[in-house]
Amino acid sequence: MENRVIKMKMLKKNNNYYSFESISESFFVNKLPFLLWITGVYIAAIVYQNAQSPQKIISVIVGGFITVHILLYWFSDRLIAKRRWIYLMLQTAVVFAAAFIMQEGSIALLVGLLPLLIAQSIIILKKTIQVILIFAFLYSQYCVAIVIKYGTRELFHFILIFLCILIIVIFYCIVYNGQVNARIRTQYYLTELETAHKKLEELTLANERQRMARDLHDTLAQGLAGLIMQLEAVDSHLHNGNTIRSQEIIYKSMEQARRTLRDARTAIDNLRENSISKIDFQDAVMEEIKRFTEATSIEIESDIKNIFRLNNFIREHSLYIISEGLTNIAKHSQATKATIVVGEENNHLHIEIKDNGIGFSNQSQAQYGKYGLLGLKERVRLIGGNINIESRPKEGTKILVTTPFKERK
C-alpha cells in the first residue's frame, strides 16, 4: 500500500499527472513526427536558398548541422535526464549556427526549428520560470537575427509568422503529449489491475483452504469425536459387565461412523460442485439433536422454529454452528442438560445454545474448545452475523448467534 501511495505522489508531482521522467519519456516515445518536421524544415530552407542563390557547399554544411540537430534529438531521452540545460543550449547553438551560415534560407530554419525547441522546453523543464527564461532567450535571439538579416522593417511580419507557427507547434505537442500520457496511464492501471488480480487469486486460494479446514473439522473431526465418546462409554459398560448396553452403543457407533462417512462425502461433493443440499432446516437441526442425545447422556431441551427465509449459504453454516456448539458441550462442558432455541426476531435469525456445565473464565476461553470456538466465530463472520459467548466458572455457557436475513438463492 505504501509503494502505491509513493507511486501516485510521483505521478502527481509538480501539479502534473506524471513525474518528470514519465513526461519526458512519453514525449520522446515516438520521435517520427518531429523528425519529419525537422527534415521538412531543412528541405524548405534548401529549396528557398537555391531559389535565390544556389550554394551547394553551404547546403552540405547546413545539412551537417541539421544531422547533429537530429542526432541530439534522437538521443534526447538520455541527455535530458541529468543534462537538460546542456541539451537545450546545444540545440540552440546548432539552430543559430545553421541559420547564420545559410544566407537566404535562414528564416525557414529559425521559424521552423525554434518553435519546436520552445515546445520541447515546455515539456522537459520542471519550473515555469525556466520555460519563460528559455522562451525569452530564444525569442530575443530570433528578433536580433531578423534585425541583422532583414532590418527592423520586416521584424513585425516575421514575429507574427513566428508566433503563429509557435502556437501551432505547442498545441500539437500538448495534444500529442496528452495522448502518450493517456497510454502510459492506461498501462499503469493495467499493471495495477494485474497485481490486484493476482492478490485476489491468492485470497481465493486462502479462503478455499479455510473452507476445507472448516468442512474437515465439522465432519471428520466432530464425527470421530462422537465415536470416541461412544467407545469410551462402551469400555465403561464392559468393565461393569453390562454387555447388552455395550452392544447397543456399538450399533449406534456403527451408525455414527456411517453418518460421518456420508457427511465427509457430502463435504467433498460440495467442494467439487459448490452445491448445497436442499434440506429442511428444522428437520436437519432435530436430526443433529437426535445424534447428540444418542451419543451422550446429556438431556436436550429444544425450541426449533422452521424458518423458510434462509438461503442455502446461511442454512449450511447455521447447521455447522449448531453442530459445533453441541460438540463443544459434549467435549468440554461436563453438562447434564443443554438448551437449544432457534427462531427469528427483528428480521434476524437467532440461535441460542446453553448448558449447565462447568463453564470457563475469559482467561481460559482460548483453551476451551480452541478450534471449535474459532470455527464458530469464523462461520458467523462469513454469514455476516454476530456471536456473543457468555460463561462463568461453574455457571455454564451461553452462545447467542444473530444473523440478518438475506435474499434466498
**Residue type present at position 253:** S
In the predicted model, what is the mean pLDDT of residues 172-192? Answer: 77
As annotated, the residues of the chain forming the CATH 3.30.565.10 domain(s) are 284-409
At 362, is the pLDDT very low, low, confident or very high (cuts 50, 70, 90)? low
Instruction: Tell me: pLDDT of 339 over 90.
Output: yes
pLDDT-above-90 percentage for the chain: 8
Query: What is the C-alpha to C-alpha distance for residues 188 and 177, in angstroms, rounded to an integer?
Result: 16
Helical ranges in 125-154 per DSSP H: 128-150
Q: Give the 3-state DSSP-derived string for 15-49, with helices as H, strands as E and coil as C.
A: HCCCCHHHHHHHHCCCCHHHHHHHHHHHHHHHHHH
The model's pLDDT over 222-268, given as tens digits with 9 standing for 90+, comes to: 667 777 777 888 778 788 888 888 788 787 778 777 777 777 766 66
Average pLDDT over residues 180-186: 78
Residue 5: pLDDT over 60: no
pLDDT at residue 111, rounded to an integer = 79
Chain centroid to CA 315: 31
In CATH, which of 2.30.110.10, 3.30.450.40, 2.10.70.10, 3.30.565.10 is domain 284-409? 3.30.565.10
| Three-state SS at 391 | strand
- In order, the DSSP letters of 170-218 are HHHHHHHHHHHHHHHHHHHHHHHHHHHHHHHHHHHHHHHHHHHHHHHII
H or E element at residue 343: strand 337-345
Q: Mean pLDDT, to the nearest integer, of 302-318?
A: 84
* Contacts for 359 with CB less than 8 Å, ≥ 6 apart: 333, 391, 392, 393, 394, 395, 396, 397
Mapping DSSP to helix (H, G, I), strand (E, B) and coil, where does residue 398 land?
strand
- Residues 31-49 pLDDT 10s: 777 788 888 888 888 887 7
CA distances from 151 to 10, 163, 187, 275 (A): 49, 19, 52, 90
**What does the pLDDT average to over 78-85?**
74
Residue 13 has pLDDT above 60, yes or no: no
Q: Does residue 18 contact residue 26 with C-beta atoms inside 8 Å?
A: yes
pLDDT tens-digit readout, 393-402:
888 899 999 9
